[in-house]
Structure 1
Amino acid sequence: MPDTSLLHCAAALAIECEQAGPPVAATLDRQHAERYGDALAGDLLRLFPDVADLDLVCVGALYDQAQLLRPGWPLHAALAGLDARFGSAERPARVLAVGAHAGHFPDAALDPDTRLHGSAMLVMPWLLRGEPSRIAATGARLERELLDRGMAGADFALTLRELLGMPIRHVRHLTVFDLCALACAQYEHAGLGALWQIIETALLAPEREQVTTLPDGMRLRWRGGDGVEAEAVDDRRRFMQCAAILGAHGLTLRDA
């Protein structure tokens, strides 16, 4: 996680749409983002009333989960940066909901990469901010309970459907580590578990070297930075497939 994790705990809405395909609109303008932020705050208070003294920072945008699951957690880092720029310590328990103007945000890192859209699952990142001791306790509780208790309430889900203008099957809150576990299961189901090992290391332990071998014998090596080295490449189509998947996660694949 970024250094701001001492003051923030990071999570997201995971939205399962009725059907796959790009969303009707990938961003919400300021007015609709503020309505979303208020509804999100209300749903979090329903689940965890004791977070009432914490600040909520969120963005009115829909992302493919790969854009969230990138080294350095750039979406959450951008939210933390805007919170530092525009936040006020004088108002407790405030909601900062970042909206778009003409489809773009004050920090371009928050602009959705619409080339990745197409999955039935989309995410909307959010942060809670507060004193380090409170955030540590809240973060630990969310890790223990959010996966089991984080289904969005009916009122919030209806508001979200209205704001996004599309049918939604399920909405739930997940921590970033819950999202990692979900992505791991998805990659393993697709026979790409070895590829996920590289992505997970880049996310959670970027200083550690990781080597993994794909079923076809191609070896991948992570040494830090943003690059992954490929060895024993016999199938260029397989190489390009892996390059596209890693690229969605902000990683570059190159020949060793």
Structure 2
Amino acid sequence: MTRKVVVRIAASFAAVIVLSSCRVDTNISLAVKPNGTGTISVVVTADKDIVTKAPDLKADIRTDDLVAAGWKIDGPSDTKDGGLTITMTHSFTGPAEATILMSQINGARGPLHEMVITRTGKDTNSTYTLAGRLEVNGGLQAFADDATLNLLGGAPYAADVQAAGLDLGDAISISFDAVLPGKVNTTTGQSADGVITWRVPMDGTPTSVATSVTNVDIASSISRVAKVLVLGLLIVWVLGSLVLIMMVLNARNKRSRTPRI
């Protein structure tokens, strides 16, 4: 069984993530097109300090199981400032598949919980609804799979973090973006330039992603109205032509029946 996407990569960073100067940023993005298809992407970036302290990190990242599960992998690649970044992307054919893919992002401890996207209405007038919550439970436990927790009896390096008095939020950031078609009706996120963004608290505080957007395909609606209008005009033109032809034929018949003197 494929390990959860975020857990799969974050586990590779666990050995150095607790160092005070290190940082890992994760962005999860859901992009939906007007027809309901789209992509889900996960971008994980480790800063230069992590790479310096763990020079073999790039070689240690394994993604074979993710590729086998249909995820496209870009990286790990070097960043301009000396860090590492890896992008994992998976396409979907509709909201139902997108919901399934979001459930593969992480385990039971977060950051995505009960995430569901649905679509109602017609192709030219549809409403998309995103529901669920963002929440990280158990600190570092959220970034370790069940097998690791059972083996070690707890999250790796959790004692080190507690002893050092480190704030997990200073070392890890997670954001969730949603690009949904249409006008935003309601959302709990920050909406700007067509992107709705949420920041995931690292202290276990739950954040709702309740969002609703309505997409009206004006071009298609106008096109359909135009087709009906053109068809109506065509019928009127044909009927008018038939009437004109009948009038001409009738006039000719009258002239042909008029006796010549």
* TM-score, normalised relative to structure 2: 0.27
Structure number with higher relative contact order (C-alpha < 8 Å, ≥ 6 residues apart): 1
Name the larger-Rg structure.
Answer: 2
Q: Which has the higher helix share?
A: 1
Q: Which has the higher strand share?
A: 2
* TM-score, normalised relative to structure 1: 0.27
